[in-house]
Amino acid sequence: MTAILSYTKAKTELTFAEKIGQLFMPAAFINDTEAEITTLENLIRDYNIGSLCFFHSRASAATNFEGKKKIIYNNDSLNTLKKIIKRYQSAAKYPLLISIDAEWGLAMRIENTPKYPYAITLGAIKNNTDVLFDVGKQIAIDCKNAGIHWNLAPVVDINNNPNNPVIGYRSFGENKELVTTKAVAFIKGAESENILTCIKHFPGHGDTDTDSHLGLPIIKKSKKELLDNELYPFKEIIKKNVDSVMVGHLAVPSLSDGENIPATLSSSIIKGVLRKELGFNGVVISDALNMHSVSKLYTIKGKLEWLAFNAGNDVLCFAENTLEGITTILKNASKNQIEESFERIWKLKEKAFKNKNQVQKSSSSSRLKEHDRLNHEIAENSITLFNGDDENIISFKKEGFTGINVGNKDKNCFFDLISDEVSFDSLLYSKLNIDTLKIKLINKKNILISLFPPQIKPANNFGFSVEEINFINELIRTKNTVIYLFGNPYVLNIFATANSKATLIVYENTIQFQKQATKHFLGNISALGKLPITIN
């Protein structure tokens, strides 16, 4: 891979067509076939592509919105990624910026890599930004060791809609100051390792109930309401010179002269609100242009890419019509438009590559050790008492109880660890139908429920059937129940937990979190977290 040219030299050396190529960020898939890899190599070589965004595979959620393709898992995805990045860099005339969505670590896209807690879990931690810094730093180290320069994170959307199908657990919460503080700490951690970051999804995707992968969300709030809330994290973080802002596919008429046009295609929103009013001078990147909220609007190849660029996006993420896009932009854009965007993206490249010789790779074992330590610390500090109190749990244990494991088909570490200290019977819901369970529980008074939602997104009641919901609610109503929820706290909107003796939110289902939940149940630690969203 050749060294990065200075902007002064690149400005005169690259042709206008090459400069436009630098603005394109096609999708790259870790588990592509050899033919697909060769096709992308040729695209990079022929059109001087500037950056790539990596995804797991063409069957993953980022491109397979309806979920009709089967995902084939590759336990060696990380090594595959490293090798394929080297191939793509070798094909590039000018070094590629490599990006990925690593909101909770490389595990968001890659098997067998460290997974850090979701943003909503981090949002539950009180008065401790050091741990957010550490998470941003460790994810950055993982990115750097994989050959990635640009983490398209964090999400700074304020999640104030419990039915949001696409943000939810990806947001730090519903409070603008909390979201801002947590995001700033995460960004500082990434910056300490010279990894680029990106705040998203401008102008705020939190208060939507439409998935922009499938349709166009419309936010009907006034400009004042948005400035007071949704735009607040963007406004404050922009003041701290964040590297980039990703614009979301959502219509906000009050910011776009009354038009129901996607923000990604609105010059009023990008050039007006983001650039002029909020004073952002960094790189603007579009949300993925393959998403149906915009990709289905235009049948002429290259038109969407041109409209997104003309609206003010410097980088066209997941552009699917690169050749036609470059041709259309070259035909329609002014020289100043091209130069301004090229300057921003090239200077971002200079920043990404200037410290590459100073990288000191840590060992795999030390990174895993730090990952484990961080997850234990986060688990201990995020567990939240939703209702009831510790005294209820103490009396519950003394009287004896029966455990029901709901939704977890794997080994239940939580129950296993409790059984090392306290004798109790446990029933695995997945192995018993509801009628059988009801019979077994007729004479049982105290029920400990470990609740593992089948899915983290709210569609179809988080994967719970109506029969399951009714059964659990009947237990809560007729028995003395203590509930530990290992998942998205919004799940509690479908359960009548006010009637339980105690309900604890653990947020995650990993071993580290189950261990800390056990400590809490046994009375060895307190619930220190604070719920960052509202449960109705």
How confident is the model over 211-242, as pLDDT tens digits? Answer: 778 889 899 999 999 999 999 999 999 999 99
Q: How confident is the model at residue 253 (pLDDT cuts 50, 70, 90)?
A: very high
All residues at 6 or more sequence positions from 535 whose CB lies less than 8 Å from its CB, including other chains = 162, 386, 489, 490, 492, 493
172's tokens: 């730090």
Which of residues 363 and 220 earns the better pLDDT score? 220
Q: One-letter amino acid identity for 498?
A: A
Evaluate whether 97 touches 344 at the Cβ level (below 8 Å): no
Which region, left, alpha or beta, applies to residue 238 given φ > 0 means left and ψ of -120 to 50 means alpha? alpha
* Mean local confidence (pLDDT), 282-302: 94
How confident is the model over 34-56, as pLDDT tens digits? Answer: 999 999 999 999 999 999 999 99
Helices (H), 92-159: 119-123, 130-146
Has residue 65 got a pLDDT over 50?
yes
* CA gap 90, 524 in Å, rounded: 55
* CA gap 220, 130 in Å, rounded: 37
Q: How confident is the model at residue 1 (pLDDT cuts 50, 70, 90)?
A: low
All residues at 6 or more sequence positions from 82 whose CB lies less than 8 Å from its CB, including other chains = 146, 147
What kind and span of H or E run contains 332?
Answer: helix 322-332
* CA gap 465, 87 in Å, rounded: 46
How confident is the model over 171-219, as pLDDT tens digits? Answer: 999 999 999 999 999 999 999 999 999 999 999 999 888 877 888 989 9
Which of residues 57 and 364 earns the better pLDDT score? 57
Has residue 154 got a pLDDT over 50?
yes
Nearest to 533 by CA among 123, 253, 150: 123
Evaluate whether 142 touches 106 at the Cβ level (below 8 Å): yes
| pLDDT score, position 503 | 98
* CA gap 292, 299 in Å, rounded: 12
* Mean local confidence (pLDDT), 240-247: 98
Has residue 66 got a pLDDT over 50?
yes
Q: Which of 20-34, 62-76, 502-516 has the lowest mean pLDDT?
A: 62-76
Q: Is 343 exposed, middle or buried (0-12, 13-18, 19+ CB in 10 A)?
A: middle
* Mean local confidence (pLDDT), 130-153: 97
438's tokens: 């009801």
How confident is the model over 119-136, as pLDDT tens digits? Answer: 999 999 999 999 999 999
* Mean local confidence (pLDDT), 380-385: 98
| pLDDT score, position 172 | 98
Average pLDDT, whole number, for the chain?
94
- Percentage of the chain with pLDDT > 70? 98
How confident is the model over 269-291, as pLDDT tens digits? Answer: 999 999 999 999 999 999 999 99
* Mean local confidence (pLDDT), 497-507: 96
| pLDDT score, position 407 | 86
Q: Which of 14-18, 73-77, 143-147, 305-309 has the lowest mean pLDDT?
A: 73-77
Helix axes 322-332, 303-311, angle to 10 degrees: 50
Q: How confident is the model at residue 432 (pLDDT cuts 50, 70, 90)?
A: confident
Has residue 358 got a pLDDT over 70?
no
| pLDDT score, position 212 | 77
Q: One-letter amino acid identity for 216?
A: L
What kind and span of H or E run contains 25?
Answer: strand 24-25
| pLDDT score, position 76 | 92
* CA gap 160, 466 in Å, rounded: 25
β-partners of residue 255 are none
Q: How confident is the model at residue 300 (pLDDT cuts 50, 70, 90)?
A: very high
Q: Give the CB-side neighbour count of residue 408, counting CA atoms within 13 A.
A: 25
Neighbours of 178 (CB within 10 A): 19
- 3-state secondary structure at position 452: coil
Has residue 355 got a pLDDT over 60?
yes
| pLDDT score, position 361 | 57
Nearest to 387 by CA among 532, 507, 502: 502
| pLDDT score, position 357 | 44
What is the pTM for the complete model shown? 0.96
For residue 500, what are the CA distances in angstroms to 275, 339, 473, 481? 50, 62, 10, 5
Regarding beta strands 244-247 and 283-286, do their DSSP bridges make them parallel or antiparallel, or are they unpaired? parallel
